[in-house]
A and B are shown apart, each in its own frame.
Chain A
Amino acid sequence: MGKLDTQFLIQKLTAEFGDKISAPSEPFALLTFETSKETISSVLAFLKNDPELNFNYLTDITGIHYPEKHLAVGVIYHVHSLVNNVRVRIKVFLDATNPTITTATSLWEGANWMERETYDFFGIIFEGHPNLQRILNVDDMTVFPMRKEYPLEDPNRVDKRDFFFGR
Chain B
Amino acid sequence: MQNHPVLTDNDPQGETTTLNLGPTHPATHGVFQNVLEMDGERIVSGVSTIGYIHRAFEKIAEHRPFYQITPLTDRMNYCSSPINNMGWHMTVEKLLGVQTPKRVDYMRVIVMELARISDHLICNGILGVDTGAYSGFLYLMEEREHIYEIYEEICGARLTTNIGRIGGFERDFNDIAYAKLDKFLKNFPPILREFEELFNRNRIFIDRTTGVGAVDAETALNYSWSGPILRACGVDYDVRVNEPYSSYEDFDFEIPVGTTGDVYDRFIVRNEEMWQSVRIIEQALEKIKKEPKGVFHADVPEFYLPPKEEVYNNMEALIYHFKIVMGEIDTPKTEVYHCVEGGNGELGFYLVNDGGRTPYRLHFRRPSFINYQMYAPMSRGMLLSDAIINMSSLNVIAGELDA
Report A's interface with B, CB cutoff 8 A: 27-28, 30, 32, 56-60, 62, 64-65, 76, 78, 82, 85, 87, 89, 108-114, 117, 121, 134-138, 145-146, 152
Contact = CB atoms under 8 A, between A and B. Distances in A.
Contact of A136 (B54, B337, B348, B360): B54
B370 interface: yes
A27 B222 contact: no
Given A59-B346, A82-B221, 5 more contacts: A59-B339, A60-B350, A78-B337, A108-B222, A114-B370
Interface string B336-365: 110100000010101010000000110101
Residue in B60, B63, B224, B336 with the greatest tally of chain A CB atoms within 10 Å: B224
Contact of A152 (B63, B222, B348): B63
Contact of A137 (B51, B336, B369): B51
Residue in B237, B348, B373 with the greatest tally of chain A CB atoms within 10 Å: B373
Residue in A28, A87, A134, A146 with the greatest tally of chain B CB atoms within 10 Å: A28
A146 B223 contact: no
Contact of B243 (A60, A76, A85, A134): A85
B132 to A, nearest CB: 32
Contacts of B348: 59-60, 78
A28 to B, nearest CB: 5
B223 A136 contact: no
Contacts of A59: 224, 339, 346, 348, 365
Contact of A113 (B54, B334, B370): B370
Given A30-B337, A110-B223, A112-B373, A145 B59 contact: yes
A87 B337 contact: yes
A32 to B, nearest CB: 7
B221 A136 contact: no
B365 A60 contact: yes
B313 to A, nearest CB: 33
Q: Is the interface of B mostly helix, strand, loop or mixed?
A: mixed
A110 B59 contact: no
A69 B175 CA distance: 55
Contacts of B60: 152
B94 interface: yes
Given A58-B224, A64-B352, A136-B54, A113 B369 contact: yes
Closest 10 CB pairs of A and B: A110-B224, A136-B51, A113-B373, A136-B54, A62-B363, A110-B223, A60-B365, A27-B334, A109-B222, A64-B361
Contacts of B249: none
Contacts of A152: 56, 59-60, 62-63
